[in-house]
Amino acid sequence: MNRAIKDQLEAAEQAFNAAMISNDPDAIRQCITDDWVLVTPESGPVSAKKLLDLITTGSLTHDTMTKTTHHIHILGEVATVTGRGQNTGRFHGAPIAADEWITDVYQKVDGRWRCVLTHLAPALGEAEVQIAQ
């Protein structure tokens, strides 16, 4: 795997996490495409607009967000990054915490990796293998 591309994708993941805990919709927009979609076990597909509206109004906030990468698959100008992540925050005032398997799909746009889709699944067990080196 191309080390430079892996490093770029890891940096994109870190920037995305930092943007989410900043609770700044403009910072988050810099990390995602306009048509980005979040797929959750609870709600299925959630549009970027819906998520950003929740953050703008303060209905959804994040205090922490971490992710350990387990697999990166590069397909030219598209890549997937799969890992295990944890986050905490508030949704409509109630505390939330999650431990999830997360796959982010990135596309290189104007020389930058931007997320086009995030898919979440509850983390119910340990990874069988960790193949990201």
* pLDDT at 130 exceeding the cut of 60: no
Q: Give CA–CA dist 127/132, Å, rounded.
A: 12
In-domain check, residue 118: yes
In-domain check, residue 39: yes
Going through 1-133 in order, the beta strands assigned E by DSSP cover: 32-40, 44-47, 60-75, 78-91, 94-109, 112-122
What pLDDT does 125 receive?
72
In-domain check, residue 128: no
In-domain check, residue 130: no
* pLDDT at 133 exceeding the cut of 50: no
Threshold 0.75, pTM exceeds: yes
Assign residue 75 the CATH number of its domain: 3.10.450.50
In-domain check, residue 55: yes
* pLDDT at 29 exceeding the cut of 80: yes
Which domain range does residue 111 map to?
Answer: 3-122
What pLDDT does 131 receive?
54
68 φψ region: left (φ > 0), alpha (ψ -120 to 50), beta (else)? beta
What pLDDT does 86 receive?
97
Tally of domains within the chain = 1
Model pLDDT for residues 75-127, shown as the tens digit of each residue: 999 999 999 999 999 999 999 999 999 999 999 999 999 999 999 999 987 76
